[in-house]
């Protein structure tokens, strides 16, 4: 019996040892960071999460990329673009020395291929709509969808023939889309109308090139004509990269390892040799790992005690918010905590449909009621007492001073007296018949606390009855999208450096307009802005649009601007900048040992 026991024990231990992968010891990478949130996908065309984009910008490089400090678009794989006098045609010459990690030169075909992939319906790209700015794309995509649907309704035996015919025609039609390869190194793009921020878009992840020969091997043509690509192509052993780093290993929800790309055209500028990105689920654990020295950079601090860290922070880095919060301690000591403004806003949506979900009339259909509710919230108090991360209270939608040359806009500030006046003007003198104000949010973070605090304010200032409803995020998304709420929480981060990234949300037909706010005046004002002759006049017009949005129309109740928090030792890690858009360019980062 003893012999039996001993054998079993030894075998089990050996097995455990092997399974745990204990045999190999890995040296620590030059730079280890926690990229908050698991990588959803590494297909640049399909990605929409910040952590995916951050990684994609490290291993691939677009025609343009972001300046590490100002995040303005700068030429990258392309030489500076030639823009025609009418502002509609861009000619990009690819750098002669730009290469893929296997030595292949980067060509205009790579970009044209990648961009076509991004608009193809089968790729299911969230940001495919960016390409609608290019002449002919929108029509092409609509035509593709129509035909896919038509073919899907055919009996199975007729499909293949129809499909092949359709795909041949699609290739022909694509030639007339405003995107063309002039020669190996030249790409010409023609837009529908001049777009001030097109170069900014060219730096975005959706516009990144992919290694054509690698990706093409994974192409699958569905029998209804949808073309997709088996996502296995994003594995490091299946593809090549043209960015400052190459991916060498990707362990699911564990880590990604990067090494410097020896074929990168600007390799002199790249200082790091190896990078490791860790995927850590629990915020507290991530902080403990950073404290133990296992991690060099935490890209966000979500623990409950983060405000305490911010209170103690005295960051030497430019752009950091120090002493902004009224609760800062007298002698701050932490040089490694950096809180800085982000390019995003936290707000509440008002349901702007004529009827509430339960069928009764919707008081918020009258914008005076919306204005009243906005005036009745003391945002400074909210920020100081509930959130306490040094956020600034928001009266506008777009974070101030976040877009160069964009005029300042002011919204409604706290005025409970005016709020009650407005309610009376709208016909609400007796609040006892007012429906219960129910705030919908997704559980987690501090949405519930914010909701409670705001509800208290409304109760006190307006005399309404309130309730809160916290549900799980997937269900919350559905209710929000379908306007099955009275008031719900929302947030938005800007995707590119132009006011329209925020303002378009409230256009009547926009797919993200969860308030269901339909206002012809608003849509008209946005169209007018696009017709302005100069960029300055355009921005001035857009500022007018925002003024209208946050003073008059108010489908939303802006609450505060987001704040990002990094943890890193500024004396060891250099060239990692605090940029609101969080497009951290790891290319330039340097670490001293």
* Touching other proteins, residues 147-176 (CB under 8 A): 148, 152
Q: Look up residue 45 and give its two tokens.
A: 């065309």
Write the Ramachandran bin of 247: left for phi over 0, alpha for psi from -120 to 50, otherwise beta: beta
226 is an interface residue for other proteins by CB under 8 A:
yes
> How many residues form the binding site for other proteins (CB under 8 A)?
85
235 is an interface residue for other proteins by CB under 8 A:
yes
Q: Which is nearer to other proteins, 475 or 574 (CB)?
A: 475
Closest to 45 (Cα-Cα) out of 234, 239, 206: 206
Count of alpha carbons within 13 Å of 363, Cβ hemisphere only? Answer: 24
Dihedral through CA 18, CA 23, CA 28, CA 33, nearest 10?
Answer: -10
State the Cα–Cα distance between residues 519 and 500, nearest whole angstrom: 16
Dihedral through CA 345, CA 351, CA 352, CA 353, nearest 10?
Answer: 150
By CB under 8 A, the residues from 447 to 476 that bind other proteins are 448-449, 452-453, 469-475
Q: Which is nearer to other proteins, 248 or 491 (CB)?
A: 491
6 is an interface residue for other proteins by CB under 8 A:
no
CA angle 325, 582, 313 (to 5 degrees): 30
Q: Which is nearer to other proteins, 326 or 521 (CB)?
A: 326
Of 7, 102, 284, 326, the residue at the interface with other proteins (CB under 8 A) is 284
- Write the interaction track for other proteins spanning residues 128-147; mark x where CB under 8 A is met and - where it is not: -----------------x--
- In DSSP notation, 213-268 reads HHHHTTEEE-TTS-EEE-GGGGSTTT----SSEEEEEEETTTEEEEEE-TT-TTGG
Closest to 243 (Cα-Cα) out of 184, 216, 276, 203: 203
Q: Which of these segments, 98-106, 119-127, 211-219, 315-323, binds other proteins (CB under 8 A)?
A: 119-127
- Write the interaction track for other proteins spanning residues 329-368; mark x where CB under 8 A is met and - where it is not: ----------------------------------------
Q: Which of these segments, 66-74, 299-307, 351-359, 390-398, binds other proteins (CB under 8 A)?
A: 299-307
Count of alpha carbons within 13 Å of 105, Cβ hemisphere only? Answer: 11
Of 251, 417, 424, 431, the residue at the interface with other proteins (CB under 8 A) is 251
In this structure, are residues 557 and 394 in contact, taking their beta carbons and an 8 Å threshold? no
First to last CA, the chain: 55
Q: Which is nearer to other proteins, 470 or 570 (CB)?
A: 470
Q: Which is nearer to other proteins, 170 or 386 (CB)?
A: 386
φ, ψ for residue 520, nearest 5 deg? -65, -35
Dihedral through CA 176, CA 182, CA 184, CA 186, nearest 10?
Answer: -110
514 is an interface residue for other proteins by CB under 8 A:
yes
By CB under 8 A, the residues from 487 to 506 that bind other proteins are 491-493
Handedness of CA 575, 579, 585, 591 (dihedral sign): positive
φ, ψ for residue 508, nearest 5 deg? -55, -40
State the Cα–Cα distance between residues 561 and 391, nearest whole angstrom: 6
By CB under 8 A, the residues from 537 to 576 that bind other proteins are none
Of 70, 176, 248, 285, the residue at the interface with other proteins (CB under 8 A) is 285
Q: Which of these segments, 96-104, 184-192, 252-260, 540-548, binds other proteins (CB under 8 A)?
A: 252-260
Q: Which of these segments, 58-66, 163-171, 209-217, 218-226, binds other proteins (CB under 8 A)?
A: 218-226
Q: Which is nearer to other proteins, 474 or 520 (CB)?
A: 474
By CB under 8 A, the residues from 39 to 58 that bind other proteins are 39-43, 46, 48-49
- In DSSP notation, 494-553 reads -SSSSTHHHHGGGSTT-TT-TT----HHHHHHHHHHHT-SSHHHHHHHHHHHHHIIIIII
Q: Which is nearer to other proteins, 273 or 443 (CB)?
A: 443
State the Cα–Cα distance between residues 449 and 7, nearest whole angstrom: 57
Q: Which of these segments, 38-46, 176-184, 397-405, 549-557, binds other proteins (CB under 8 A)?
A: 38-46
In this structure, are residues 335 and 553 in contact, taking their beta carbons and an 8 Å threshold? no
> Considering the complex, what minimum distance in angstroms separates the CB of residue 42 from other proteins?
6
Of 97, 164, 216, 231, the residue at the interface with other proteins (CB under 8 A) is 231
282 is an interface residue for other proteins by CB under 8 A:
yes
Of 28, 193, 401, 481, the residue at the interface with other proteins (CB under 8 A) is 481
By CB under 8 A, the residues from 55 to 94 that bind other proteins are none
Of 181, 386, 426, 540, the residue at the interface with other proteins (CB under 8 A) is 386
184 is an interface residue for other proteins by CB under 8 A:
no
């Amino acid at each position: 019996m003893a012999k039996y026991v001993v054998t079993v024990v030894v075998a089990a231990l050996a097995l455990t040892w092997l399974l745990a992968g204990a045999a190999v010891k890995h040296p620590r990478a030059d730079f280890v960071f926690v990229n908050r949130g698991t990588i959803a996908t590494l297909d640049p065309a399909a990605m929409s999460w910040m952590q995916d984009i951050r990684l994609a910008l490290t291993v691939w490089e677009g025609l343009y990329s972001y300046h590490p400090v100002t995040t303005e678009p700068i030429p990258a794989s392309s030489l500076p673009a030639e823009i025609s006098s009418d502002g509609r045609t861009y000619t990009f010459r690819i750098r002669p020395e730009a290469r893929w990690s296997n030595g292949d030169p980067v060509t205009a075909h790579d970009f044209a291929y990648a961009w076509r992939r991004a608009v193809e319906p089968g790729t299911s790209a969230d940001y495919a709509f960016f390409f609608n700015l290019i002449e002919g794309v929108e029509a092409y995509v609509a035509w593709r969808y129509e035909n896919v649907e038509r073919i899907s309704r055919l009996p199975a035996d007729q499909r293949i023939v129809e499909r092949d015919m359709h795909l041949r025609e699609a290739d022909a039609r694509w030639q007339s889309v405003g995107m063309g390869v002039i020669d190996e190194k030249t790409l010409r793009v023609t837009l529908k109308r001049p777009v001030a921020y097109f170069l900014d878009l060219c730096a975005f992840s959706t516009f990144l090139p992919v290694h054509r020969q690698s990706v093409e091997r994974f192409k699958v043509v569905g029998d209804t004509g949808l073309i997709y690509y088996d996502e296995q192509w994003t594995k490091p052993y299946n593809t090549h990269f043209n960015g400052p780093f190459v991916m060498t290993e990707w362990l699911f929800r564990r880590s990604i390892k990067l090494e410097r790309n020896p074929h990168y055209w600007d390799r002199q500028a790249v200082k790091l040799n190896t990078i490791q990105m860790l995927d850590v689920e629990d915020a507290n654990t991530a902080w403990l790992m950073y404290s133990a020295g296992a991690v060099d950079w935490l890209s966000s601090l979500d623990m409950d005690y983060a405000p305490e860290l911010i209170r103690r922070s005295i960051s030497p880095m430019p752009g950091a918010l120090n002493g902004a919060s009224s609760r800062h301690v007298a002698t701050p000591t932490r040089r490694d905590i950096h809180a800085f403004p982000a390019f995003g806003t936290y707000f509440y949506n008002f349901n702007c449909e004529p009827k509430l979900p339960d069928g009764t009339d919707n008081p918020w259909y009258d914008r005076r009621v919306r204005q009243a509710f906005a005036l009745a919230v003391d945002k400074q108090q909210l920020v100081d007492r509930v959130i306490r991360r040094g956020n600034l209270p928001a009266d506008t939608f777009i974070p101030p001073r976040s877009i160069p040359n964009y005029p300042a806009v002011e919204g409604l500030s706290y005025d409970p007296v005016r709020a009650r006046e407005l309610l009376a003007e709208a016909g609400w003198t007796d609040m006892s018949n007012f429906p219960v104000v129910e705030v919908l949010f997704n559980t987690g973070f501090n949405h519930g606390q914010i909701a409670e605090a705001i509800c208290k304010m409304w109760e006190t200032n307006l005399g309404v009855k309130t309730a809160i409803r916290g549900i799980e995020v997937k269900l919350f998304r559905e209710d929000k999208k379908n306007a099955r709420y009275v008031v719900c929480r929302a947030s938005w981060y800007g995707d590119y450096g132009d006011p329209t990234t925020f303002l378009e949300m409230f256009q009547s037909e926009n797919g993200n307009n969860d308030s269901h706010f339909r206002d012809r005046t608003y849509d008209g004002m946005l169209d007018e802005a696009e017709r302005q002759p100069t960029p300055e006049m355009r921005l001035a017009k857009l500022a007018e649009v925002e003024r209208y949005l946050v003073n008059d129309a108010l489908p939303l109740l802006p609450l505060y601007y987001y704040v990002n928090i990094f943890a890193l030792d500024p004396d060891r890690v250099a060239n990692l900048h605090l940029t609101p858009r969080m497009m951290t360019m790891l290319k330039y980062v340097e670490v001293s040992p």
